[in-house]
Amino acid sequence: MRIGVLTAGGDCPGLNAVIRSVVHRAIAEHGDEVIGFEDGFKGLLDGRFRKLDLDAVSGILARGGTILGSARLERARLREACENAKDFSREHGIDVLIPIGGEGTLTAARMLSDAGLPVVGVPKTIDNDISSTDRTFGFDTAVGVATEAIDRLKTTAESHQRVMVVEVMGRHAGWIALESGMAGGAHGICLPERPFDPADLVKMVEERFARGKKFAVICVAEGAHPAEGSMNYQKGAIDQFGHERFAGIGTALAHELERRLGKEARPVILGHVQRGGTPTAYDRVLATRFGWHAVEAAHRGEFGMMTALRGTSIEMVPLADAITELKRVPEDRMDEAESVF
Ligand code: F6P
């Protein structure tokens, strides 16, 4: 079998672990040939690929980013890809394509699969917002980075009697804010799923100061927004990939709190630090298992499916199920987090 693999969308710690696992399983167990398309679907469209043998994936398990490069694809080019989907197998001689990516990539994978290209998807995203899988790799690493940041911010906040507003990634789902906020013991957590009222945060900070705790750390997801009429905040415009450009809720909230409280407040935007660097052991293991199962599914001819973590097992689920709706933080998880602070 000749397998094509690509990484698309935003990068994520653990991508290289999947690539390595696919190559190891495919070559060592099945005697397959593996090629890697460069820069996501762009490489597929432009015919840019290279052979991936055992040497090519040596030493990449712990490396962040992706050795294949990644890119988002404009909608027009995706349509072009779908029109040519059937030709890709013949042109590149591939029997199956394993695209590794988030919601956008899996949607493209589904479209290509419907258009006749044999596809087995592997989900990834630090946001952990893909339904049908309990976890995505990259999330654990991002939560670790954000938790460490909150730990560190507490000591400087306390030294200066400040409020720190730490903004983490999460456009539609607040999983990183929820889990790093809980793990780091943030005093306030704001998620996209539940509009917040800055007045509640002001009250919380004032109560803390009255109790002699003269600092506070608030963890806010980039996609969080204030309840209507509670604060002046303009949403960002939509970019060419259909993504909202964020207007900087962390900075806006820090300024608002400083104004209302009359105390110093500082925004800290973690941004792509959460996506860079070496994956945690958990993410390496999950990514490796996804790669292994993707190859096995390809050999069983289970196309139009993707790998998913269900409990502690890896299962194959239809791509269609994975992309119908995003996995957002449910009410009961938000309630648990609230009871902590
Ligand atoms: O989808 C993953 C993600 O990390 C989001 O949380 C974030 O908003 C986005 O990617 C950032 O994308 P870019 O790298 O294009 O700025």
Q: What is the pLDDT along the chain (341 residues), one digit of tens a residue?
A: 999 999 999 999 999 999 999 999 999 999 999 999 999 999 999 999 999 999 999 999 999 999 999 998 887 888 888 888 888 888 889 999 999 999 999 999 999 999 999 999 999 999 999 999 999 999 999 999 999 999 999 999 999 999 999 999 999 999 999 999 999 999 999 999 999 999 999 999 999 999 999 999 999 999 999 999 999 988 777 776 667 777 799 999 999 999 999 999 999 999 999 999 999 999 999 999 999 999 999 999 999 999 999 999 999 999 998 888 999 999 999 999 886 55
Q: Tell me if 153 CB under 6 Å of ligand 1.
A: no
Q: Tell me if 136 CB under 6 Å of ligand 1.
A: no
Q: Tell me if 126 CB under 6 Å of ligand 1.
A: yes
CA distance 186 to 166: 9
Closest atom, ligand 1, to C-alpha of 246: 8
10 C-alpha vs ligand 1 centroid, how far in Å? 6
Interval 215-241: pLDDT, tens: 999 999 999 999 999 999 887 777 766
Q: Tell me if 275 CB under 6 Å of ligand 1.
A: yes
CB 161 within 8 A of CB 215: yes
Give nearest CA residue, ligand 1 atom 12: 10
Counting residues of the chain whose pLDDT is more than 70, the rounded percentage is 98
Q: Which residues are annotated as a binding site?
A: 10, 72-73, 102-105, 125-127, 162, 169-171, 222, 266, 272-275
257 C-alpha vs ligand 1 centroid, how far in Å? 26
- List the domains of the chain with CATH numbers: 2-138+279-322 (3.40.50.450), 141-276 (3.40.50.460)
pLDDT of residue 86: 80
Q: Tell me if 10 CB under 6 Å of ligand 1.
A: yes
115 C-alpha vs ligand 1 centroid, how far in Å? 28
Residues annotated catalytic, as ranges: 127
Closest atom, ligand 1, to C-alpha of 72: 15
Assigned token pair, 77? 């080019």
Assigned token pair, 254? 């820090």
- What are the residues facing 167 on neighbouring strands? 220, 269
pLDDT of residue 239: 72
170 C-alpha vs ligand 1 centroid, how far in Å? 8
203 C-alpha vs ligand 1 centroid, how far in Å? 32
pLDDT of residue 67: 98
Q: Which residues are annotated as a binding site for Mg(2+)?
A: 103
Indicate left, alpha or beta for 212 from its phi (over 0: left) and psi (-120 to 50: alpha).
left
CA 187 to chain CA centroid, nearest Å = 24
CA 57 to chain CA centroid, nearest Å = 23
CA distance 83 to 338: 49
pLDDT of residue 265: 98
pLDDT of residue 240: 66
Assigned token pair, 279? 């994956």
Give nearest CA residue, ligand 1 atom 15: 10
pLDDT of residue 2: 97
Neighbours of 334 (CB within 10 A): 16
Cβ-Cβ contacts under 8 Å for 295 (sequence gap 6 or more): 3, 21, 22, 25, 26, 29, 30, 32, 98
Interval 160-199: pLDDT, tens: 999 999 999 999 999 999 999 999 999 999 999 999 999 9
Q: Tell me if 169 CB under 6 Å of ligand 1.
A: yes
